[in-house]
Amino acid sequence: MKVTHKFLIVTVAFLAIVGVFALLGNANQSARAAFSIPFGSSQQVNSADAPKLGVVELKGTVDSIQADSYTVSGLTFRFDTLTIISGAPVVGDSVEVKALLLPDLTRYALKIELQDEVVSVPSFEFHGLVEAMAADVWTVSGEQVQVTVDTAIDADIAAGALVEVKGKVAGGLMVAGSIELEESMPGAVGTEVEIFGTIESSRARCMWLAVRR
């Protein structure tokens, strides 16, 4: 009887251990399935709290279209298969472009959208960090913005400050109409941003994205 009792205890303990490992295995497989993305594939990843820092929103007229770029109101924007192009705009159409400035100082279009209303005066706006402040040109998140006597500039803006820049595009240059100091990114909490990129590698705790800006 004692042997049988011990056998039952060992059997129950063994089954319990097997059950725990099975649950862990299923959980691990579920986690892998949830985060499994084939390397080299292009995906869209949503971030719940990342602001649109440095994303320029520009409204203007399409000047020309090349195999890999659009020129809108004198500004050139690169695009590729990850760029969202809505409405099949052609030369002469009014569009809104959302773009990022790349390290090589070229602009990459995240989205190009056809507009129903004609854009008579090209305009832009974006949030960024002040990098340099010359007398007539400011650099904000890599973008060079022309500053004139008509530009309304908030007081106490210094290098490193977060600002909102709004203005017009003239002769292929971004001319600031206003530069306002921001304490934080509007809608930073709960804002959904699409990050377009290609998975390069992954680790146990993280994945690396080659983000296409």
**Considering only CA atoms, which of 157, 142, 97 is closest in space to residue 124?**
97
Instruction: Compute the average pLDDT of residues 43-70.
Output: 76
Residue 201 has pLDDT above 80, yes or no: no
The fraction of the chain above a pLDDT of 90, given in percent, is 58
Across 151-212, the runs of DSSP E, i.e. the strands, are 152-153, 162-170, 173-181, 193-202, 207-211
Radius of gyration of the chain (CA): 26
Nearest alpha-carbon partner for 154 in 144, 164, 140, 145: 164
pLDDT of residue 149 exceeding 80: yes
Residues 165 and 6 sit within 8 Å (Cβ to Cβ): no
Domain ranges of the chain: 1-36, 42-49+188-211, 56-181
**pLDDT of 91 above 80:** yes
**pLDDT for position 204:** 47
Residue 185, pLDDT score: 62
pLDDT at 5: 52
Sequence-ordered alpha helix ranges (H) in the chain: 2-35
Which residue type does 38 have? Answer: P
pLDDT at 152: 98
Mean pLDDT of the chain: 76
Predicted confidence at residue 40, as pLDDT, reads: 44
Q: Which residue has the higher pLDDT, 105 or 129?
A: 129
pTM of the model: 0.64
Residue 111 pLDDT > 90, yes or no? yes
Least confident window among 37-41, 143-147, 163-167 = 37-41
**Class (C level, CATH) for 56-181:** mainly beta
